Chain A
Amino acid sequence: AQKITQTQPGMFVQEKEAVTLDCTYDTSDPSYGLFWYKQPSSGEMIFLIYQGSYDQQNATEGRYSLNFQKARKSANLVISASQLGDSAMYFCAMREVDTGFQKLVFGTGTRLLVSP
Protein backbone atom coordinates (compact mmCIF):
# COMPACT_ATOMS: atom_id res chain seq x y z
CA ALA A 1 0.00 0.00 0.00
CA GLN A 2 1.13 3.51 -0.72
CA LYS A 3 2.38 5.27 2.35
CA ILE A 4 1.76 8.72 0.89
CA THR A 5 -0.89 9.40 -1.73
CA GLN A 6 -1.20 12.58 -3.71
CA THR A 7 -4.17 12.15 -6.02
CA GLN A 8 -3.87 15.42 -7.95
CA PRO A 9 -1.24 15.14 -10.70
CA GLY A 10 -1.85 18.77 -11.64
CA MET A 11 -3.65 21.79 -10.25
CA PHE A 12 -4.39 25.20 -11.71
CA VAL A 13 -5.05 28.35 -9.73
CA GLN A 14 -5.28 32.03 -10.54
CA GLU A 15 -2.92 34.48 -8.96
CA LYS A 16 -4.05 35.75 -5.54
CA GLU A 17 -6.44 32.84 -5.01
CA ALA A 18 -6.00 30.09 -2.44
CA VAL A 19 -5.32 26.49 -3.42
CA THR A 20 -5.36 23.20 -1.53
CA LEU A 21 -3.05 20.34 -2.43
CA ASP A 22 -4.19 16.98 -1.12
CA CYS A 23 -2.13 14.43 0.75
CA THR A 24 -3.27 11.28 2.52
CA TYR A 25 -1.00 8.94 4.40
CA ASP A 26 -1.01 5.43 5.75
CA THR A 27 0.62 4.50 9.02
CA SER A 28 -0.16 2.54 12.14
CA ASP A 29 2.42 4.39 14.19
CA PRO A 30 1.14 6.87 16.75
CA SER A 31 4.20 9.06 16.26
CA TYR A 32 5.12 10.42 12.85
CA GLY A 33 6.00 13.61 11.05
CA LEU A 34 4.59 15.04 7.85
CA PHE A 35 6.49 17.36 5.52
CA TRP A 36 5.78 19.36 2.41
CA TYR A 37 8.50 20.23 -0.08
CA LYS A 38 8.42 22.47 -3.13
CA GLN A 39 10.41 21.71 -6.26
CA PRO A 40 10.54 24.60 -8.76
CA SER A 41 11.57 24.07 -12.35
CA SER A 42 15.19 24.70 -11.35
CA GLY A 43 15.08 21.34 -9.57
CA GLU A 44 16.03 22.01 -5.97
CA MET A 45 13.93 20.68 -3.10
CA ILE A 46 12.73 23.37 -0.72
CA PHE A 47 11.24 22.54 2.68
CA LEU A 48 7.95 24.34 3.30
CA ILE A 49 6.19 23.11 6.40
CA TYR A 50 6.15 20.37 9.04
CA GLN A 51 3.37 18.79 11.12
CA GLY A 52 4.01 16.37 13.95
CA SER A 53 1.39 13.76 14.77
CA TYR A 54 1.12 15.03 18.35
CA ASP A 55 0.98 18.70 17.46
CA GLN A 56 -2.22 20.21 18.80
CA GLN A 57 -2.48 22.94 16.21
CA ASN A 58 -2.23 22.94 12.45
CA ALA A 59 1.14 24.15 11.26
CA THR A 60 1.48 27.49 9.52
CA GLU A 61 4.43 29.16 7.79
CA GLY A 62 3.63 32.45 6.16
CA ARG A 63 1.26 31.79 3.25
CA TYR A 64 1.48 28.03 3.80
CA SER A 65 -0.73 26.16 6.22
CA LEU A 66 -1.35 22.51 6.78
CA ASN A 67 -4.88 21.23 7.17
CA PHE A 68 -4.14 18.24 9.40
CA GLN A 69 -7.02 15.83 9.93
CA LYS A 70 -5.57 12.98 11.93
CA ALA A 71 -8.63 10.73 11.96
CA ARG A 72 -8.87 10.95 8.17
CA LYS A 73 -5.08 10.62 7.82
CA SER A 74 -4.87 13.66 5.63
CA ALA A 75 -2.38 16.52 5.63
CA ASN A 76 -3.42 18.94 2.91
CA LEU A 77 -1.26 21.93 2.06
CA VAL A 78 -3.10 25.23 1.71
CA ILE A 79 -1.38 28.07 -0.14
CA SER A 80 -3.11 31.39 0.35
CA ALA A 81 -2.85 34.31 -2.05
CA SER A 82 -1.05 32.34 -4.77
CA GLN A 83 1.83 33.97 -6.57
CA LEU A 84 3.34 33.22 -9.96
CA GLY A 85 6.45 31.96 -8.17
CA ASP A 86 4.37 29.23 -6.51
CA SER A 87 4.25 27.36 -9.82
CA ALA A 88 6.19 24.18 -9.03
CA MET A 89 5.93 20.53 -8.05
CA TYR A 90 4.83 19.93 -4.47
CA PHE A 91 5.67 16.77 -2.56
CA CYS A 92 4.16 15.45 0.63
CA ALA A 93 6.39 13.18 2.73
CA MET A 94 6.31 11.26 6.00
CA ARG A 95 8.75 10.03 8.62
CA GLU A 96 7.58 7.25 10.98
CA VAL A 97 8.71 6.10 14.40
CA ASP A 98 9.00 2.46 13.28
CA THR A 99 11.95 3.42 11.10
CA GLY A 100 13.46 5.47 13.91
CA PHE A 101 12.35 8.55 12.01
CA GLN A 102 15.16 7.74 9.66
CA LYS A 103 13.33 7.23 6.39
CA LEU A 104 11.42 9.92 4.56
CA VAL A 105 8.77 8.50 2.22
CA PHE A 106 7.50 10.75 -0.55
CA GLY A 107 4.32 10.94 -2.54
CA THR A 108 4.35 11.26 -6.32
CA GLY A 109 3.78 14.98 -6.22
CA THR A 110 1.33 17.57 -7.55
CA ARG A 111 2.27 20.07 -10.22
CA LEU A 112 0.80 23.49 -9.47
CA LEU A 113 0.45 26.12 -12.16
CA VAL A 114 -0.42 29.65 -11.15
CA SER A 115 -1.83 31.81 -13.92
CA PRO A 116 -1.91 35.62 -14.03
Chain B
Amino acid sequence: NAGVTQTPKFQVLKTGQSMTLQCAQDMNHEYMSWYRQDPGMGLRLIHYSVGAGITDQGEVPNGYNVSRSTTEDFPLRLLSAAPSQTSVYFCASSFLRTSGGHNEQFFGPGTRLTVL
Protein backbone atom coordinates (compact mmCIF):
# COMPACT_ATOMS: atom_id res chain seq x y z
CA ASN B 1 0.00 0.00 0.00
CA ALA B 2 1.97 3.01 -1.29
CA GLY B 3 -0.59 5.65 -0.23
CA VAL B 4 -0.32 8.85 -2.28
CA THR B 5 2.64 9.08 -4.63
CA GLN B 6 3.85 12.10 -6.55
CA THR B 7 6.41 12.49 -9.30
CA PRO B 8 8.76 14.18 -9.82
CA LYS B 9 10.12 15.24 -6.42
CA PHE B 10 11.94 18.22 -7.89
CA GLN B 11 11.57 20.08 -11.17
CA VAL B 12 13.09 23.18 -12.72
CA LEU B 13 11.31 24.79 -15.66
CA LYS B 14 11.89 27.81 -17.83
CA THR B 15 9.18 30.40 -18.22
CA GLY B 16 6.69 29.28 -20.85
CA GLN B 17 7.40 25.57 -20.62
CA SER B 18 4.63 23.14 -19.85
CA MET B 19 4.72 20.05 -17.70
CA THR B 20 2.56 17.58 -15.81
CA LEU B 21 2.87 16.74 -12.15
CA GLN B 22 1.77 13.18 -11.53
CA CYS B 23 -0.30 11.99 -8.57
CA ALA B 24 -1.57 8.51 -7.85
CA GLN B 25 -3.26 6.84 -4.88
CA ASP B 26 -4.01 3.19 -4.16
CA MET B 27 -6.54 3.61 -1.37
CA ASN B 28 -9.64 3.76 -3.61
CA HIS B 29 -10.35 7.30 -2.47
CA GLU B 30 -13.03 9.18 -4.34
CA TYR B 31 -11.69 12.62 -3.47
CA MET B 32 -8.38 13.93 -4.77
CA SER B 33 -6.97 17.43 -4.67
CA TRP B 34 -3.96 19.57 -5.49
CA TYR B 35 -2.54 22.27 -3.22
CA ARG B 36 0.32 24.68 -3.52
CA GLN B 37 2.33 25.77 -0.50
CA ASP B 38 4.03 29.13 -0.45
CA PRO B 39 5.93 30.68 2.47
CA GLY B 40 3.61 32.42 4.91
CA MET B 41 0.46 31.39 3.04
CA GLY B 42 -0.25 27.86 4.16
CA LEU B 43 -1.69 25.43 1.63
CA ARG B 44 -4.06 26.73 -1.01
CA LEU B 45 -6.39 24.54 -3.02
CA ILE B 46 -5.80 24.55 -6.79
CA HIS B 47 -8.23 21.95 -8.14
CA TYR B 48 -10.08 18.99 -6.75
CA SER B 49 -12.06 15.97 -7.93
CA VAL B 50 -14.81 13.92 -6.31
CA GLY B 51 -14.54 11.03 -8.75
CA ALA B 52 -13.48 9.95 -12.21
CA GLY B 53 -14.63 12.47 -14.78
CA ILE B 54 -15.51 15.15 -12.21
CA THR B 55 -13.23 18.07 -11.40
CA ASP B 56 -13.72 21.55 -9.97
CA GLN B 57 -11.70 24.64 -9.24
CA GLY B 58 -10.30 25.58 -5.88
CA GLU B 59 -8.99 28.88 -4.62
CA VAL B 60 -6.09 29.39 -7.07
CA PRO B 61 -6.86 27.52 -10.34
CA ASN B 62 -5.44 29.95 -12.92
CA GLY B 63 -2.61 28.51 -14.99
CA TYR B 64 -3.39 24.92 -14.07
CA ASN B 65 -5.46 22.15 -15.65
CA VAL B 66 -6.55 18.82 -14.25
CA SER B 67 -8.37 15.73 -15.44
CA ARG B 68 -9.49 12.55 -13.69
CA SER B 69 -9.85 9.62 -16.04
CA THR B 70 -9.39 6.97 -13.34
CA THR B 71 -10.00 6.76 -9.61
CA GLU B 72 -6.28 6.34 -8.99
CA ASP B 73 -4.70 9.18 -10.96
CA PHE B 74 -5.06 12.96 -10.81
CA PRO B 75 -2.40 14.76 -12.87
CA LEU B 76 -1.86 18.52 -12.65
CA ARG B 77 -0.82 20.33 -15.82
CA LEU B 78 1.00 23.62 -15.96
CA LEU B 79 0.14 25.07 -19.34
CA SER B 80 2.76 27.82 -19.62
CA ALA B 81 4.92 28.02 -16.52
CA ALA B 82 5.49 31.38 -14.86
CA PRO B 83 7.87 32.34 -12.02
CA SER B 84 4.78 32.92 -9.84
CA GLN B 85 4.16 29.18 -10.00
CA THR B 86 7.37 28.44 -8.15
CA SER B 87 6.06 26.54 -5.15
CA VAL B 88 5.76 23.19 -3.43
CA TYR B 89 2.84 21.19 -4.78
CA PHE B 90 0.98 18.60 -2.74
CA CYS B 91 -1.53 16.06 -3.92
CA ALA B 92 -3.98 14.67 -1.36
CA SER B 93 -6.80 12.15 -1.30
CA SER B 94 -9.57 11.00 1.01
CA PHE B 95 -12.85 9.17 1.12
CA LEU B 96 -15.80 11.34 0.28
CA ARG B 97 -18.27 11.78 3.11
CA THR B 98 -20.92 14.33 2.31
CA SER B 99 -22.19 14.20 5.87
CA GLY B 100 -18.89 15.12 7.38
CA GLY B 101 -17.10 12.87 9.77
CA HIS B 102 -13.55 11.83 10.23
CA ASN B 103 -12.24 11.87 6.68
CA GLU B 104 -8.75 13.25 6.86
CA GLN B 105 -6.83 13.81 3.68
CA PHE B 106 -3.71 11.78 3.02
CA PHE B 107 -0.94 13.77 1.42
CA GLY B 108 1.76 12.86 -1.04
CA PRO B 109 5.39 13.81 -0.37
CA GLY B 110 5.21 16.96 -2.51
CA THR B 111 6.89 18.27 -5.65
CA ARG B 112 9.21 21.25 -5.39
CA LEU B 113 8.88 23.27 -8.59
CA THR B 114 11.10 26.17 -9.60
CA VAL B 115 10.26 28.30 -12.63
CA LEU B 116 13.12 30.45 -13.91
Contact = CB atoms under 8 A, between A and B. Distances in A.
Interface of A: 4, 31-33, 35, 37, 43-45, 47, 50, 52-53, 91, 93, 95, 97, 100-109
Contact of B100 (A4, A32, A43): A32
B104 A35 contact: yes
B101 A104 contact: no
B88 A43 contact: yes
B110 interface: yes
A23 B110 CA distance: 25
Interface of B: 31, 33, 35, 40-45, 48, 50, 56, 58, 88, 90, 92, 96-107, 109-110
15 contacts: A4-B42, A32-B100, A37-B107, A44-B110, A45-B90, A47-B104, A93-B43, A95-B100, A101-B96, A102-B50, A103-B58, A104-B45, A104-B92, A105-B45, A108-B41
A52 B102 contact: yes
A33 B102 contact: yes
A52 B102 CA distance: 7
A102 B110 contact: no
B100 A33 contact: yes
Nearest to A29: B100
Contacts of B43: 45, 91, 93, 106
A45 B107 contact: yes
Contact of A44 (B58, B98, B105, B109): B109
Given A43-B88, A105-B45, A106-B42, A31 B100 contact: yes
A35 B105 CA distance: 10
B44 A52 contact: no
Contacts of B40: 108
A108 B42 contact: yes
Given A43-B109, A105-B45, A100 B98 contact: yes
A47 B45 CA distance: 17
A112 B56 CA distance: 34
Contacts of B107: 37, 44-45
A101 B102 CA distance: 11
